[in-house]
Amino acid sequence: MLAHVITSKYADHVPLYRQAQIYAREGVDLDRSVLARWVGEASKLMNPLVEALRRYVMSTDKLHGDDTPLPVLEPGRGRTRIARFWTYVRDSRPSGDTAPPAVWFSYSPDRKGEHPQRHLAKFRGILQADAFAGFNKLYATGVIQEAPCMAHIRRKFFDLIVAHQSPIATEAVERIRALYRIEEEIRGRPADQRRQIRNARARPLFESMRRWLEDSRLQLAPKSETAAAIRYALSLWDSLSRYLDDGRIELDNLIAERALRPVAVGRRNYLFAGSDNGGQRAAILYSLIGTARLNGLDPEAYLRHVLSRIADHPINRIEELLPWRADLNSSSARQNAA
């Protein structure tokens, strides 16, 4: 029952008040406050597992990071404020890595840079992320290397095509498309092969585009929207070029954006979180459900597997309950979940 309620809310985007209405139609009286208490207690029970998941996610040399807003109710004031979900994804399958993919969510009451700086305080390696200024302090020490997102650059030009049919923006999108065609061909190959192919085929296109952007900017009014899009692209170009010499790096950060998609869909249904505690609970459950999905598991079956074991499971072996170590097809798993 717990697994079904949690999956319905955080994977299928059915708010608890709607679930209470559904159960009432079946003659089952379950108040929303009861369901909320169940979700809170279940998330607290599974918090040690999510901490193990966080350690795993951070123990890699390349991460994808992103954030998304979450309206949170301010009790007694009749309004909401904007909090944040942060997501960090470990997934190097596009570069041939066989390590299990995983995602960790964290909640914060605002978007201050201190939050990702705390999350990534011990991380060492490559961070694929957007150009959020809160990450800059992490890059300043050199222990974390910035790998920006080409998709963000493309969107700025694509918006200009939609708004103004800009010929410069149209050519920019076409040039970016040529780089993506190469990425489609080499997805899943080992990192060293990707590096070699990018240097042979993508580097000439990449360097030609930079020269073209610089020349195009001189033809535009400095305050035009197209000039602003070009300045944004050029400001990231040196960092973006890291992908040419490192086959582990992706051309964009869509891996993290896909991890946040369930939050965006859910937000359109439940509209806001009731409190900071609700946001923290959601981060725990999004982490487990998102990682289960990345590993090809049915989230509800995985949660049944965890909830039937975790209360009695030794804390020093909590990693055994991580999604890629769960055997949901064994007879004992089915029996315990029943």
Is there a contact between 85 and 116 (Cβ–Cβ < 8 Å)? no
Q: Which pLDDT belongs to residue 73?
A: 83
CB 184 within 8 A of CB 194: no
Distances (CA, A) of 51 to 3, 33, 40, 103, 162: 20, 27, 16, 12, 44
d(CA 10, CA 57): 21
Amino acid in the structure at residue 248: R
> For residue 157, with 0-12 CB atoms within 10 Å meaning exposed, 13-18 middle and 19 or more buried, which class applies?
buried
Type of residue found at 316: N
Q: Are 14 and 256 in contact (CB under 8 A)?
A: no
Beta bridge mates, 145? 126
The per-residue pLDDT for 271 is: 64
Ramachandran region, residue 51 (left: φ > 0; alpha: ψ -120 to 50; beta: rest): alpha
CB-count exposure of residue 130 (10 Å: 0-12, 13-18, 19+): middle
Say which residues have a Cβ less than 8 Å from residue 208's Cβ, sequence separation at least 6: 175
Q: Which residues pair with 102 in a beta bridge?
A: 90
E-only strand ranges, 115-254: 125-128, 144-147
SS3 at position 142: coil
pLDDT at 333: 43
pTM of the shown model: 0.92
pLDDT at 330 (0 to 100) = 58
Residue numbers of the chain with a pLDDT score lower than 50: 331-338
CB-CB contact of 31 with 61 (8 Å):
no
User: Which pLDDT tens digit goes with each residue over 119-144?
Assistant: 999 999 999 999 898 899 999 989 99
Cβ neighbours of residue 300 closer than 8 Å, sequence gap 6 or more: 3, 4, 7, 11
What per-residue confidence (pLDDT) applies to 149?
Answer: 96
